[in-house]
């Protein structure tokens, strides 16, 4: 086996601050820009919105608390950083002093604040800005969560001009707890709000439904879709597909026991009429298990990222998680990553970007459990892999295959019609064996525990197939023909 020449990087950042996480990443030329939250450097440790720039090798040019104005606390959430048409960035979040406010800020590529606006409102108990998007010819739209005194909450859409001056506020409510997360521009020129409506408390039976709300450029109602499955939370990530449908990643309720909810992850594809075409549910159940962002590749396939525990709900070790999914919902590959190789660490990936050469760029956080004894206990994390999700320390591939490398897996008869015998070297025993057709669709999946294993191929159509054995980052591949 040979290591691929695709070394990218996995880097941690904390910039002398005790806490940090990256919630959004955007690429521009050979530079990467991140946003998130961090503790301030002052003795009072106010939370600060974070904005930073790293270079193509992962080294930090600057990682700054965006606004260090005491005594306020500023924070911004996942996927809140977006590019503007003039090559700069816009970000939103919440600002806390004596009352809750939200803010929007425009930032240039050197990290300088071009403008910042906040919007106080005494009507609401809670006031969280979740996402912001540029509205061509008008300014910006901000999706805000607001709460009523009766514990219900609603979606507030704020439209501003190009420098953040308020133009309109619009409330959308289903009279339970409504919470927006993301805004996406549609092919038709309207805007889709990815949101959730859920029960107003955590007592069983818990329920939550994904809610897609379509609005015009001023936030006025156009259309909506409400999931009839009450086990799915808000769409952390979503994109409109070329057929005018939607691909959505979210948390899916796995268990609800005595008011305790545990989740796994869901990827759902809707057509243009919001009819479900397919859904994939993956990951060991846990409090944090979920997929948080999705991107569409040039060939229409999907890249998603998130986090999953090492094993079940009692796991004290969580992985960053990236999957590639075909247009029919077939998982082509999935990989797990650690920001720091030590038990008791939680590695999260919140946002992913696809670079022009196909490489993948993701960001998130490394979080230590308190008993690990390493400080700071929370650090920003940025990860770059090749298009197959590989970094050298995680992936050992045979590429290209040589005759010697092909001996790690052998198949006969080849061509075959009813069955094949698969022979693996000892070091590849207990590998996951997968057979793909020429389109990349997974046809057979089997764990191989013996040196020689019979595989039934009678249900496969005539043609060429690729057989891959994978074990702990090692791969062996062989072509197979079915007659």
> What is the distance between the alpha carbons of residues 395 and 417, in angstroms, rounded to a whole number?
33
* Cα–Cα nearest to 218, from 144, 159, 174, 177: 159
Q: What is the pLDDT of residue 2?
A: 31
Q: Which helix (H) or strand (E) holds 403?
A: helix 403-406
The separation between CA 6 and the C-alpha centre of its own chain, rounded to angstroms, equals 22
- With tokens 């219900």, the residue in question is 152
The CA–CA distances, whole Å, from 140 to 33, 136, 161 equal: 20, 8, 6
Does the pTM surpass 0.75? The reply is: yes
Q: What is the pLDDT of residue 192?
A: 98
CA angle 329, 332, 336 (to 5 degrees): 110
Model confidence band, residue 270 (pLDDT cutoffs 50, 70, 90): very high
- With tokens 């005759």, the residue in question is 403
What b/e string do you get for 318-351 counting C-beta neighbours within 10 Å, with b at 16 or more? bbbbbbbbbbeebbbbebbbbbbeeeebbbbbbb
pLDDT in tens, 218-267: 999 999 999 999 999 889 999 999 999 999 999 998 887 666 788 899 99
The CA–CA distances, whole Å, from 378 to 38, 362, 365, 368, 372 equal: 9, 17, 7, 6, 12
146-172 mean pLDDT: 91
pLDDT in tens, 65-118: 665 554 556 677 778 899 999 999 999 988 766 566 888 999 999 888 899 998
> What is the distance between the alpha carbons of residues 75 and 49, in angstroms, rounded to a whole number?
5
Most confident listed range (296-300, 309-313, 399-403) = 296-300
Strands 452-456 and 442-448: unpaired
Contact 180, 130 (CB under 8 A): yes
> What is the distance between the alpha carbons of residues 483 and 478, in angstroms, rounded to a whole number?
16
Let me know how many helices (H) and strands (E) the chain has, helices first. Answer: 1, 36
192-205 mean pLDDT: 80
The region that residue 181 occupies, defined by phi over 0 for left and psi between -120 and 50 for alpha, beta otherwise, is alpha
Of residues 460 and 95, the one with the higher pLDDT is: 460
* Dihedral angle computed from the Cα positions of residues 15, 19, 25 and 31, in that order, rounded to the nearest 10 degrees: 0
Mean of all residue pLDDT scores within the chain: 83
DSSP string of 248-283, one letter each residue: EEEEEEEEEETTEEEEEEEEEEE-TT--EEEEEEEE
3-state secondary structure of 405: helix
The answer to whether the bond into 58 is cis (omega within 30° of 0) is no
The CA–CA distances, whole Å, from 391 to 4, 144, 187, 468 equal: 8, 38, 35, 19
283-293 mean pLDDT: 87
- With tokens 């490398």, the residue in question is 405
Q: What is the pLDDT of residue 95?
A: 77
Strand partners, 91: 81, 105
Q: What is the pLDDT of residue 3?
A: 33
Which stretch of 156-160, 196-200, 469-473 has the lowest confidence by average pLDDT? 469-473
User: Is residue 286 pLDDT above 90, yes or no?
Assistant: no
Contact 34, 80 (CB under 8 A): no
* Cα–Cα nearest to 157, from 166, 138, 144: 144
User: Is residue 53 pLDDT above 60, yes or no?
Assistant: yes
> What is the distance between the alpha carbons of residues 36 and 80, in angstroms, rounded to a whole number?
8
Which stretch of 170-174, 308-312, 332-336, 379-383 has the lowest confidence by average pLDDT? 308-312
């Amino acid at each position: 086996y040979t290591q691929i020449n695709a070394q990218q990087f996995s880097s941690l950042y904390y910039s002398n601050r005790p806490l940090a996480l990256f919630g959004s990443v955007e690429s521009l030329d050979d530079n990467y820009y991140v946003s998130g939250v961090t503790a301030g450097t002052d003795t009072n440790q106010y939370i600060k919105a974070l904005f930073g720039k790293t270079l193509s090798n992962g080294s930090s040019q600057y990682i700054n608390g965006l606004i260090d104005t005491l005594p306020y606390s500023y924070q911004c959430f996942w996927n809140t950083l977006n590019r503007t048409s003039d090559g700069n960035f816009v970000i939103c979040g919440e600002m806390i002093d004596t009352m809750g406010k939200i803010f929007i800020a425009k930032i240039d590529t050197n990290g300088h604040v071009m403008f910042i606006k906040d919007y106080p409102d005494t009507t609401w108990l809670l006031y969280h800005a979740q996402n912001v998007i540029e509205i061509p010819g008008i300014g910006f739209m901000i999706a805000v969560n607001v709460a009523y005194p009766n514990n219900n909450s609603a979606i507030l859409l704020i439209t501003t001009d190009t420098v953040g001056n308020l133009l309109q506020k619009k409330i959308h409510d289903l009279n339970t707890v409504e919470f927006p997360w993301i805004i996406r521009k549609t092919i038709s020129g309207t805007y889709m709000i990815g949101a959730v409506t859920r029960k107003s408390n955590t007592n069983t039976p818990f329920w939550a439904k994904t809610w897609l709300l379509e609005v015009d450029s001023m936030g006025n109602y156009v259309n909506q879709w409400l999931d009839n499955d009450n086990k799915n939370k808000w769409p952390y990530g979503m994109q409109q597909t070329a057929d005018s449908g939607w691909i959505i990643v979210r948390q899916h309720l796995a268990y609800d026991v005595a008011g305790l909810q545990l989740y796994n992850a869901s990827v759902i594809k809707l057509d243009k009429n919001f009819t479900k075409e397919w859904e994939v549910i993956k990951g060991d159940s846990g409090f944090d298990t979920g997929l948080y962002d999705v991107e569409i590749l040039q060939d229409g396939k999907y890249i998603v990222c998130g986090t999953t525990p090492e094993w079940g709900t009692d796991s004290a070790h969580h992985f960053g998680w990236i999957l590639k999914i075909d247009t029919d919902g077939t998982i082509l590959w999935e990989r797990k990553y650690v920001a720091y190789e030590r038990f008791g660490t939680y590695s999260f990936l919140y946002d992913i970007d696809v670079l022009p050469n196909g490489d993948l760029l993701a960001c998130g956080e490394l979080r230590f459990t308190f008993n690990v004894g390493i400080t700071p206990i929370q650090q920003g994390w940025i990860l770059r892999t090749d298009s197959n999700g590989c970094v050298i320390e995680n992936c050992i591939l045979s590429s290209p295959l040589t005759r010697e490398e092909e001996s790690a897996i052998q198949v006969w008869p080849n061509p075959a019609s009813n069955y094949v015998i698969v022979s693996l070297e000892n070091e590849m025993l207990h590998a996951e064996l997968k057979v793909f057709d020429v389109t990349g669709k997974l046809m057979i999946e089997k764990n191989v525990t013996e040196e020689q294993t019979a595989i039934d191929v009678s249900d496969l159509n005539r043609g060429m197939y690729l057989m891959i054995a994978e074990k702990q980052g090692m791969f062996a591949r062989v072509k197979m023909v079915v007659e």
